[in-house]
Amino acid sequence: MLEIEALTCIKQDRCLFESLNFSLLSGQIMQIEGPNGAGKTSLLRIIAGFSQPDDGNVLFNMRNIKEDYDGYAQSLLFIGHKTGVNQQLTAYENVTHWLSVHGYTSTESEIYSLLGKLGLVGLEDVPVRTLSAGQQRRVALVRLWLNDAKLWILDEPFTALDKKGVAMLQSRFQQHLDKGGAILLTTHQDLTDTFASLQTLALEYRH
Ligand SMILES: Nc1ncnc2c1ncn2[C@@H]1O[C@H](COP(=O)(O)OP(=O)(O)OP(=O)(O)O)[C@@H](O)[C@H]1O
């Protein structure tokens, strides 16, 4: 599904990574590891097409993402470590906004039921800024239930989640992989015993 060819990224005269190659197949999950500042977020942003590498290419289904970025964007769900949630809106309003952006429809009761499943019962109609960090993360992650994108790119998705939240997210990941999706993520969580198809990529901090 995803092919990374000879990617190089230089920031502030520091080479974060050079000639990086890997591929991710349908049904696979890859965890990018490394110390703070190693370049994990920079790599995810390049793969999502939000920033350009200093060298190399990103291919999705054998095509360079630059050739048909709109098509690629439709197959991609990116959730960054800044959650991308509108803090002034409620959880319910955020969901209806995401649905309308993607051209999806859903009934009021389906949305309440989904928010309930994510542990947000009673919190659906208050501004997101008044929620705890973990509750805000749960609102951000609702998008994983609303979207049928094949490739998920997730920067620190487990941040601030409690044990139940982590388990719920891991089970959602497994459903996505079982349906032929792929996941690329950064996390400090140990996932080795959780996903049979896990691959890891370690980025060193280069001086
Ligand atoms: N837009 C930018 N302009 C200049 N330097 C940047 C920019 N974005 C990132 N950097 C630098 O690139 C390096 C890697 O940053 P990045 O956010 O990719 O690291 P990371 O591995 O995700 O770190 P963390 O674990 O702390 O989230 C850092 O030294 C950072 O200062």
Q: What is the ipTM of this complex?
A: 0.95
Q: What is the mean pLDDT of the chain?
A: 94
Residues with CB under 6 A from ligand 1: 11-12, 16, 34, 36-42
User: In this predicted structure, what is the pLDDT of residue 85?
Assistant: 93
Q: What is the pLDDT of residue 122?
A: 95
Question: What's the CA-to-centroid distance between 113 and ligand 1, angstroms?
Answer: 38
Measure 40 CA to ligand 1 centroid, in angstroms: 8
Residue whose Cα lies nearest atom 9 of ligand 1: it is 42
Residue 23 in tokens = 């591929």
Q: State the distance between the two ends of the chain, measured CA to CA, in whole angstroms.
A: 32
**Res 101: pLDDT:** 86
Give the span between the Cα atoms of 119 and 122, in whole angstroms: 9
Is residue 125 a part of any domain in this protein? Answer: no
Residue 190 resides in a domain: yes
Residue 180 in tokens: 């032929």
Q: Could you give the angle at the alpha carbon of 116 between the alpha carbons of 29 and 195, nearest 5°? A: 15
Q: Tell me the per-residue pLDDT of 16-38, one tens digit each, with 9 for 90 and over.
A: 999 999 999 999 999 999 999 99
Virtual torsion, Cα 103, 108, 112, 114, nearest 10 deg: -40
Q: What is the pLDDT of residue 148?
A: 85
128, part of any domain: no
How close is the Cα of 111 to the center of ligand 1, in Å? 36
What pLDDT does 103 receive?
83
Strand 63-64 vs strand 55-60: parallel, antiparallel, or unpaired? Answer: antiparallel
The token duo for 75 is 């197959």
Positive or negative CA dihedral for 147, 128, 43, 177? negative
Which pLDDT band, with edges at 50, 70 and 90, does 105 fall under? confident
Atom of ligand 1 nearest to the CA of 44: 18
Q: Convert the pLDDT of each residue in 49-101 to its tens digit.
A: 999 999 999 999 999 999 999 999 999 999 998 778 999 999 999 999 999 98
- State pLDDT tens for residues 120-133: 999 999 999 999 99
Give the distance (Å) from ligand 1 centre to CA of residue 62. Answer: 28
Please tell me the residue having the least CA distance from ligand 1 atom 18: 39
> What CATH number should be reported for the domain holding residue 58?
3.40.50.300
Q: What is the pLDDT of residue 102?
A: 81
Q: Which amino acid residue places its CA nearest to atom 24 of ligand 1?
A: 36
State the total domains in the chain: 1
- 42 CA distance to ligand 1 middle (Å): 6
* In a domain? residue 122: no
Is 32:203 a contact under the CB 8 Å cutoff? yes
| pLDDT band at residue 145 under the 50/70/90 scheme | very high
Asked whether residue 95 is assigned to any structural domain, the reply reads no
Answer whether residue 195 is part of any domain.
yes
pLDDT for position 189: 87
Q: In DSSP terms, which residues pair with 184 in a beta bridge?
A: 30, 153
pLDDT at 157: 95
For position 154, what pLDDT does the model report? 97
Give the pLDDT confidence score for residue 180 in this predicted structure. Answer: 96
Between the CA of 16 and the centroid of ligand 1 the distance, in Å, is 9
Instruction: Domain of residue 10: give its range.
Output: 1-75+181-207
- In a domain, residue 94? The reply is no
